[in-house]
Amino acid sequence: MYRLNSWIKAHFHLHNREYGQAISTFRQLDERSSLRDNLNLLVAMGESYYYSGDHKNALIVLQRARALDPHMQRGLDILAALLAKERKHKELEKLISPSITVSEYGPETWITMAYFLYATKKNSKAAYFAQKACFLSPRNVEALILKGAILLDLKKFQDAVVHFREAMQVSPHRYEPHRGLVDCYIAMHRLREALNIASNACKQLGQNPRALTLYASVLMKDPLTVCKAKSILEKALAQDEMYLPAVYLLAEMYEQEMALESAVTLLEKQVELQPTCKLHQMLGDLLARVHEEDKALDHYCTALNLDPNNRRALEGMHRIDHSSSKLDTSYFLTVGEEEGGDTTYERIADSENEGEADESETEAVWSDMDLELNSQ
């Protein structure tokens, strides 16, 4: 009887979009009852994590489910989305079962194939497979979101808007359609529409870190509203200090304001809590700017250990190496001058290197939102 009541309670929370309570109840069932490693329970818990924005735990739980049933369909599309986001292309490709015929593919399989093609930069083919999923299940939110994202990458902004709007009509509580519409309108330089969508996201989804950060990201695009963006990001981090998108944006704002010490302090704290490649790379960039090259190199090295293909970390290391070699050259030039040597060639070469080195109406909307934010 306990299991039945808890099962009903967990699904009630999930369908009522109370994801934290749904996760808690599903976890209790998974840990303390005979339902441990139950496929349906794991998929529902993975969905709860995903809808709440906790992609790390969603991936862990859905991978557990897939290990139990390699042919599972429900949850397969979300698992594909997570693997694509993490750029785990080999694992993503393995999700496509070769043991069934094409005629047996459901929308989840077509979405999975589309995510693999999208992740490997084959956008036109990806759009075709996403459309196959939409044809089989016209109100499939995952298919609509994916096709919208692909069309956005293809710079077919109006078509992308249509798909994201349709996804929002089907599931207004989902974050991804709001985010997709914001990205579309920003790409079309329609900042007011983007701000309206982001403001509406805070109302529809609640003023959680994801919605607040989305809103702040739009405010940052307008010099008149940058200050407001900062306070909203701080509010988001007050709710969840480990919400990385807000951390990244706030560090960027500190850097733009030349508050480099504040940015370094923020990132150093986060690196201790949750070391990621991007955090180390950003911290390396900031430390290089304040002339702490040795510390910067350490962080660039850590970033590259986490992701050997991180281009910005590699560029940062090369800048420091180039700067060090120029300092060494300047030292030997000074010594040569003091000894009366002929430094004509070195001066010309150094001059050339230096030359190469030298070669960066919304108020009404956000003020209304401001009143609502302050009232809560």
CATH number at residue 320: 1.25.40.10
In-domain check, residue 50: yes
Would you say 41 and 29 are in contact if contact means Cβ atoms under 8 Å apart?
yes
Confidence of residue 347 (pLDDT cuts 50, 70, 90): very low
In-domain check, residue 124: no
Nearest to 54 by CA among 178, 170, 208, 283: 208
Confidence of residue 352 (pLDDT cuts 50, 70, 90): very low
Confidence of residue 355 (pLDDT cuts 50, 70, 90): very low
- pTM beyond cutoff 0.85: no
Q: How many structural domains comprise the chain?
A: 2
Confidence of residue 49 (pLDDT cuts 50, 70, 90): very high
3-state SS, residue 221: coil
In-domain check, residue 26: yes
In-domain check, residue 286: yes
Q: To the nearest whole number, what is the mean pLDDT of the chain? A: 86
Q: Tell me how far apart the alpha carbons of residues 9 and 30 are, in angstroms, rounded to a whole number.
A: 14
In-domain check, residue 339: no
* CA geometry: angle 146, 39, 68, nearest 5 deg: 90
Q: Is 53 left (phi over 0), alpha (psi -120 to 50) or beta?
A: left
In-domain check, residue 305: yes
Confidence of residue 103 (pLDDT cuts 50, 70, 90): low
The domain boundary, picked from 23, 39, 69, lies at 69
Q: Output the DSSP codes for 125-151.
A: HHHHHHHHHHHH-TT-HHHHHHHHHHH
**Looking at 80-84, 157-161, 230-234, 306-310, which range is the least confident one?**
306-310
Q: Which residue has the higher pLDDT, 93 or 367?
A: 93
Q: What is the pLDDT of residues 309-324, one digit of tens each?
A: 899 999 998 888 877 6
- Phi and psi torsions of 308, nearest 5°: -60, -15
Residue 35 confidence (pLDDT) above 70: yes
Share of the chain above pLDDT 70, in %: 84
Residue 374: the pLDDT is 53
Residue 184 confidence (pLDDT) above 50: yes
Domain containing 34: what range? 1-69
Q: Which residue has the higher pLDDT, 11 or 371?
A: 11
Confidence of residue 368 (pLDDT cuts 50, 70, 90): low
Q: List the structure tokens of 166.
A: 């349709």
Residue 338: the pLDDT is 42
Secondary structure in 3-state letters for 32-101: HCCCCCCHHHHHHHHHHHHHHCCHHHHHHHHHHHHHHCCCCCCCHHHHHHHHHHCCCHHHHHHCCCCCCC
Confidence of residue 369 (pLDDT cuts 50, 70, 90): low
The domain boundary, picked from 69, 88, 118, lies at 69
Q: Tell me how far apart the alpha carbons of residues 330 and 181 are, in angstroms, rounded to a whole number.
A: 52
Residue 209: the pLDDT is 96
The domain boundary, picked from 23, 54, 69, lies at 69
Q: What is the pLDDT of residues 127-154, one digit of tens each?
A: 999 999 999 999 999 999 999 999 999 9
Q: List the structure tokens of 326.
A: 């120029």
